[in-house]
Structure 1
Amino acid sequence: MPPSKAAPLPEAPAPDALGVMLLRQGHLAPHRIMGALRRSSGHAAGLADVLLAEGAMDEEEILALTARQSGLPLLDPATGAADPRLIDRLGVRTCLRETLLPVHDVGGAVLVAAPSPESFRRHGPLLGHLFGRVIPVLATRTAIEGALHAARATAIGLAAETRVTPGESCRGWRTGRATRLALGTALGIAAGLMLAPGLVVLALSLWALFAMTCGTALRIATAIATLRRRPPEPPCPPLLRLPIVSVIVALYQEEDIAGRLVARLGRIDYPHDRLEILLVVEEADLRTRKALVEARLPPWMRIVISPAGAIRTKPRALNVALDHCRGSIVGVYDAEDAPDPDQIRRVVEGFSRRGSQVACLQGQLDYYNPRTNWLSRCFTIEYASWFRLMLPGLDRLGLAVPLGGTTLFFRREALEDLGAWDAHNVTEDADLGIRLARHGYRTDLIDTVTGEEANCRALPWIKQRSRWIKGFMMTWAVHMRDPVLLWRQLGPWRFAGFQVMFLGSLSQTLLAPVLWSFWLLALGLPHPVTPLLSTPALWAIVGLLLGAEGVSIALGILALRLTRHKLNPLWVPTMHLYNPLATLAAYKALWELLRAPFYWDKTRHGLFDGSSRGPAAWVPRLRGQRAA
């Protein structure tokens, strides 16, 4: 059908006319309507958003009012299936992002549904070019999204899995090649141990020591950079209108924690008509969906269904939700998170102070159950070192920042420019941090805290850590496909930092047993490298190991002092017994990398947050701390 001019549309209803109609109907008190008009900044659509966010009216009531104002007819998309061919012509992602639903062809014209007349005025030229004559009708956002999922669920899932370009995604990972490489390496080491055990152990020891030395030097450098006084930030420019912020929370088998999550997110202090929280649930996860419905979500929270697909990962769910977002700022929380109430305001102010090159703001993570047991104490010390010293230091040193998995906020334009999250990477956060750096974007750390639940049971801890390490392995391998290109994009300084953070930390974790073997010297027992090294060299190695351990203890104590927990610093030396768990996790990760690279080992939440030290108590104490 040749393109023709789109059907003429009625003028947009003025916000005061919308308010007058509400007054005439008598459904709302006059002072409530006037207050909503002030907060809507003079936009008719904004007035509807305010009324919806406040719970003064529901979607159907607002839609009926809009239909009367505009003269456009109403449509219930559930009464008939939409034509998938028309959806594909516009693009299912565009349909979701702009909330448009091409329904079917009616005598040479295409029936298109949208939640407001403004959508047709904004997209009229595009709709006219694609479909020719358009018949505009109104439908609720919920109904349109439901119809799109019913018609093109498979396409939505596939789009979420393939957003990142193939060259920067791990979806092309070939387990056969990786298995052959790992098997060849293992056979080579085994043959070397039989023919020249001392030389092989010495070579592995020297590499492990080199990785440990580089890692220790980086930790010292980041700590010094973090503790230096930073110049004051420029004042926040006046914001005439707060931006819309969309926060995505990916949920899977979280029925036990769903109600608590809704309560915690309900404490966020940001205008609800400028905030939306999208709770992404897997299609087959009926229990979590039921729990969320029973939690009685406020109007500014809504459920998004992630269609079934070839994989089931958090980044895939995030990609599905991204096209449902309205905000220019997109954030990510985890199911057990308890963010500072003023966190969103701090994020908005943070972006307004910074230029467009700052595409991501990373908040600090901490635990609200640090005293549950020894493992939770060690995890708290580790997180304190990472989020209070390491990440801020990486930022100040100008190195690439591997992101944490939550309390992340992005400029949406930059996020979509990168293809969002790699759906196949099980540490999508660290991977995205490197891709941001490769493409010239910056990540800054902001002074706001989100409380999380420490995973403090040994086996679940190993499972969670193995997923993180597997993702680090895959991220390093993907970005090193073309080392020359990576060097050019990152530059020598950040390229070296990337190698220390990824290759160095992985080497140190996997080869930790080689370093442990040097305890034989302290016990007066023979060591395979003894005949190959002089006595001063052997004691130099022992001194290096003791020095690295001393630095680790000192930085752990320093990091604890930067938190609010007041944990006894005598727990820090016990990290020497905690770190071997990571080595067990690393070998599990290596096995999964070869056998099940995209498998997401689920972490169960909500086990240790029911006490007075849980999330409900966390937020008020943080308020008091900031006020002091």
Structure 2
Amino acid sequence: MANIELLQISGASANTNAWITRPRLGQVLQGLGLITQDQIKTCVARQSTQEARFGDLLCEEAGLNEVAIMRALEIQWQTSEVQLDRAPPDKRMIDVLGVEHCLQRGYIPWRCVGARTVIAAVFPDHADQDRALLEQHFGPISIGVTTGKSMQAALAELYGTPMQNRAALKVQDNLSCRTWRSERFRRILKLSFIATAITFYYHPAIAFIFFTFAALIALLVQNGLKFAAALAMTRRTPSRPTENVVPIHQPKLPTVSILVPLFRESQIAGTLINNLSKLTYPAALLDVCLVVEADDQVTRTAISKSDLPSWIRVVTVPCGLIRTKPKAMNYALEFCRGNIIGIYDAEDSPQPDQIDKVVAQFAQADPDVACIQGRLQFFNARENWMSRCFAIDYASWFGMVLPGIAKLGLAVPLGGTTLFFRREILQELGGWDAHNVTEDADLGIRLARAGYRTELCDTATDEEANCRAWPWVRQRSRWIKGYAMTYATHMRRPLLLWRELGAKGFIGFQIMFLGSIAQALLAPMIWSWWLLLLGLPHPASTLISPEMVRALGFSMIAVELLNITISGVALWRTGQRGLIPWLPTFNFYNMLATIAACKAMIEMAYRPFFWDKTSHGHSAALSKKRIAA
């Protein structure tokens, strides 16, 4: 056996010989009595089909934690632990390699001790593989070991502030809403309000006809798109050819990182961990990051009361100038290990085989498929009238309209959860716009502009329906504000947008964003004409003929029937047939969207980046789930 040179470093030693024959990690752990030979064989077999490190597989198979793996690595590499919490690393040395490199390879240069530079490694084999690079920068090296948690904490302590600053500015200026000039919009909003009020005061009939016409156009084009999307859903998607095709290489299952942004969640942490623990995807290939703000003691305390498994960790976001979900996700993305990045919300309960389906779909998809969107539904759909209507809303959108939009080849405005991305494409686009309060919809448009596609996956996630009136208005106003900000951002250069999306995509973008905002704001103009059906006078009735009134009434009834049909089919397809009798009441639910739209316009002028957080954990159904768990 070659000579072994050991260097004592503050109570830790590091092996400097790269060619020593070392025992296998499994042998070391078996010698310590922590695993069995059968468990070693199982992990070795799994490595042939899974892109998992042996230590991660052992954590799943034998219930080990990263400290136990580190102790075994000390023996395997004849070295000792570098305690980064007691002796922080030299930042100047890390700057040479860059934080991204250190996170990707799982080691950091620690300090110079004598004639050698000590490398603190979570994965000492990576440091050994990169020995030539490391010695080129730092001279002779010695390798010590540390845990992933310790390395993450050390890097966050040194680089947390610049990383969170970078997270807020990742998207290019011309594609971000952070350059939004709210002062100009305030002036436009005030002048528009004054002009509208004057017109209604002096010429009410003309004002009603003008705005009714605008509302009718928005109504018809919106529902025309719904109809086209529903028709597209009837087309059978061509199946991929499988006959006479022999796969040369079956790809290994990849690591999937899941970001779960949390903020002021005192009740949801335990339920969330229980829901994620039901996933059937191999735990060794899961990297779940609970993304928590540094000053959010409520959530941090709730998490501290839970015993997190080895595949769930906490990523703490330093405080900054803005506090939004997309900024937190941009920050956490730097710490992810997976090639696929998924997003869940705090209250989400995904179907157990969801990750398996998504990974399989990505494996079969074309390289230009950057995102896979799952279906959202509610576990408390029957709690009250509002939750029933919200469930109808989601069934129609995620069950019929959104898949139809994707089949039509239009840009897909993504929903904020049950989203999965190819990591390299997500990073290429700069992640999420940290200032956009509907960062999901904006990212869907940016993906389409860059030439990428979104596919829908036949899998569902249960979440909590917002079933109280004012919280619903607050949530919907944030969505409408985000849609308006997204529209204004991408329409800065409309000709460029036309070239990148194509004519069909550009028109679809106008309908989905401008059309939906206009419909919500102008809906009262349409409602006002129901006065005639009730035998009441209307300010503009003297300026239009009875034939035009009948045509207007026919259009409204046709649209209502179309909406009921699409929603009814969606409910039938998703197994929620019990909600069909509630469809005639759906219009009353939609009236709240007008209040939300007015709130959104005011916030665009005064608080454009304010994140009106949706509060979770109030459903009676959720309380029952906690008791059952």
TM-score (norm 1): 0.91
Residue of 431, 446, 462 corresponding to 1:435? 446
Secondary structure at the counterpart of residue 256 of structure 1: coil
1:584 correspondence with 2:595: yes
1:267 correspondence with 2:278: yes
Distance in 1 of aligned mates of 2:96 and 2:296:
31
Query: Cα deviations across residues 574-605 of structure 1 (Å, max 9, x unaligned)?
Result: 00110011111111111111111111112121
Does the CA-based 8 Å contact 2:218-2:515 persist in structure 1? yes
Secondary structure at the counterpart of residue 434 of structure 2: coil
- Cα distance, 1:42–1:185 mapped onto 2, change above 3 Å: closer
What displacement does 1:207 show? 1.4
- Cα distance, 1:60–1:208 mapped onto 2, change above 3 Å: same
Does the CA-based 8 Å contact 1:12-1:117 persist in structure 2? no
Aligned to 2:167: 160
What is the 5 A alignment of 1:305-454? 305-454=316-465
Distance in 2 of aligned mates of 1:244 and 1:294:
27
Query: Cα deviations across residues 177-222 of structure 1 (Å, max 9, x unaligned)?
Result: 2212212222232333344333333222211111111011111111
1:291 correspondence with 2:302: yes
Task: Give the residue type in structure 1 aligned to 2:106.
Answer: T
- Cα distance, 1:381–1:109 mapped onto 2, change above 3 Å: same
Does the CA-based 8 Å contact 1:369-1:614 persist in structure 2? no
Aligned to 1:113: 120
What displacement does 1:35 show? 1.9
What displacement does 1:48 show? 1.2
Does the CA-based 8 Å contact 1:13-1:70 persist in structure 2? no
Residue of 96, 103, 107 corresponding to 1:96? 103
Aligned to 1:172: 179
Aligned to 2:18: 10
Does the CA-based 8 Å contact 1:278-1:301 persist in structure 2? yes
Distance in 1 of aligned mates of 2:20 and 2:470:
59
Distance in 2 of aligned mates of 1:616 and 1:233:
45
Secondary structure at the counterpart of residue 241 of structure 1: coil
Aligned residues with identical type, % of pairs: 45
Runs of 4 or more consecutive aligned structure 1 residues displaced over 6 Å after TM superposition = 42-45, 615-618
Farther-moved stretch of structure 1 (177-186 vs 113-122) = 113-122
What displacement does 1:134 show? 4.9
Does the CA-based 8 Å contact 2:374-2:460 persist in structure 1? yes
Aligned to 2:466: 455
Task: Give the residue type in structure 1 aligned to 2:126.
Answer: S
Aligned to 2:150: 143
Aligned to 2:544: 533
Distance in 1 of aligned mates of 2:63 and 2:505:
52
Distance in 2 of aligned mates of 1:259 and 1:239:
37
1:27 correspondence with 2:34: yes
Query: Cα deviations across residues 233-260 of structure 1 (Å, max 9, x unaligned)?
Result: 4559673521111111111111211111
Task: Give the residue type in structure 2 aligned to 1:10.
Answer: A
Query: Cα deviations across residues 519-560 of structure 1 (Å, max 9, x unaligned)?
Result: 222233333333433332232122212221221122221211
Secondary structure at the counterpart of residue 341 of structure 2: strand
Aligned to 1:3: none
Aligned to 1:623: none
Residue of 233, 254, 264 corresponding to 1:243? 254
- Cα distance, 1:385–1:189 mapped onto 2, change above 3 Å: same
Gaps of 5+ in 1: 1-6, 619-628
Farther-moved stretch of structure 1 (606-615 vs 306-315) = 606-615
Residue of 51, 75, 81 corresponding to 1:68? 75
Task: Give the residue type in structure 1 aligned to 2:614.
Answer: T
Does the CA-based 8 Å contact 1:368-1:615 persist in structure 2? no
Secondary structure at the counterpart of residue 352 of structure 1: helix
1:486 correspondence with 2:493: no
- Cα distance, 1:187–1:340 mapped onto 2, change above 3 Å: same
Query: Cα deviations across residues 420-455 of structure 1 (Å, max 9, x unaligned)?
Result: 111111111111111110100000001111111111
1:475 correspondence with 2:482: no
What displacement does 1:401 show? 0.6
- Cα distance, 1:354–1:381 mapped onto 2, change above 3 Å: same
Residue of 197, 218, 224 corresponding to 1:190? 197
Query: Cα deviations across residues 75-106 of structure 1 (Å, max 9, x unaligned)?
Result: 11111233344444433344334434343455
Task: Give the residue type in structure 1 aligned to 2:206.
Answer: L
Distance in 1 of aligned mates of 2:374 and 2:32:
46
Alignment size in residue pairs: 611
Secondary structure at the counterpart of residue 24 of structure 2: helix
- Cα distance, 1:128–1:536 mapped onto 2, change above 3 Å: farther
Farther-moved stretch of structure 1 (344-353 vs 220-229) = 220-229
1:258 correspondence with 2:265: no
What is the 5 A alignment of 1:474-553? 474-553=485-564
Query: Cα deviations across residues 318-342 of structure 1 (Å, max 9, x unaligned)?
Result: 1121111111111111111111111
Farther-moved stretch of structure 1 (377-386 vs 135-144) = 135-144
Gaps of 5+ in 2: 1-14
- Cα distance, 1:373–1:13 mapped onto 2, change above 3 Å: farther
Distance in 2 of aligned mates of 1:281 and 1:40:
32
Aligned to 2:218: 211
Distance in 2 of aligned mates of 1:42 and 1:561:
38
- Cα distance, 1:175–1:386 mapped onto 2, change above 3 Å: same
- Cα distance, 1:410–1:124 mapped onto 2, change above 3 Å: farther
Secondary structure at the counterpart of residue 511 of structure 1: helix
Task: Give the residue type in structure 2 aligned to 1:383.
Answer: Y
What displacement does 1:132 show? 5.7
Query: Cα deviations across residues 43-100 of structure 1 (Å, max 9, x unaligned)?
Result: 9982212112345432222223223323444311111233344444433344334434
Secondary structure at the counterpart of residue 579 of structure 1: helix
